[in-house]
Amino acid sequence: MKKKNITLSDIAWLISLSSGFWIGFHVLPSCDELSEVFLKVTIILFPLCLLLPLVAPSRPWLCPILAVGAIAVGIGVDALTDTAMDRNLWGLEVIFAQIIAAPSVVIGGVAGIFLSRKIRKNGKHNKSSEPT
């Protein structure tokens, strides 16, 4: 059986999954105000969605989608494990978190994809213009 090596893309996907889960499980339940939620989610997701397409350029939208999906999983796990209060509206929490996370994911993802393509394009251009 051939052993598969771990690539930078695999690490990027793991980072997006773990950070999204951390947002859903730890960050969102600890926030009291909407501005605090938006600020914390933006501080975490915007740089993540901006930088991960540079690391994994083959599937640039996969990292932001995994992060947003992991937020939903984190909220679900938090709702299931929280015994201090009744969390029967956790589905609405998931929808709320997706709406809050959407601007930073979309803007960061588009900017990251744009930068990734620009860097790859400039890299090909510079390599072809070098004398041999």
Confidence at residue 131, expressed as pLDDT on a 0 to 100 scale: 55
As given in the structure block, the two tokens for residue 117 are 């393509």
Helix, strand or coil for residue 99?
A: helix
Domain ranges of the chain: 10-126
129 pLDDT higher than 70: no
13 against 50, higher pLDDT: 50
Confidence at residue 125, expressed as pLDDT on a 0 to 100 scale: 55
Read off the pLDDT of residues 75-118 as tens digits, 9 standing for 90 and up.
888 888 887 777 788 888 889 888 988 899 899 888 988 888 88
* pTM of structure: 0.76
Residue with tokens 């930073």: 104
Percentages (nearest 5) of helix, strand, coil residues in the chain: 80, 0, 20
Residue 1: pLDDT band (50, 70, 90) is low
Neighbours of 24 (CB within 10 A): 28
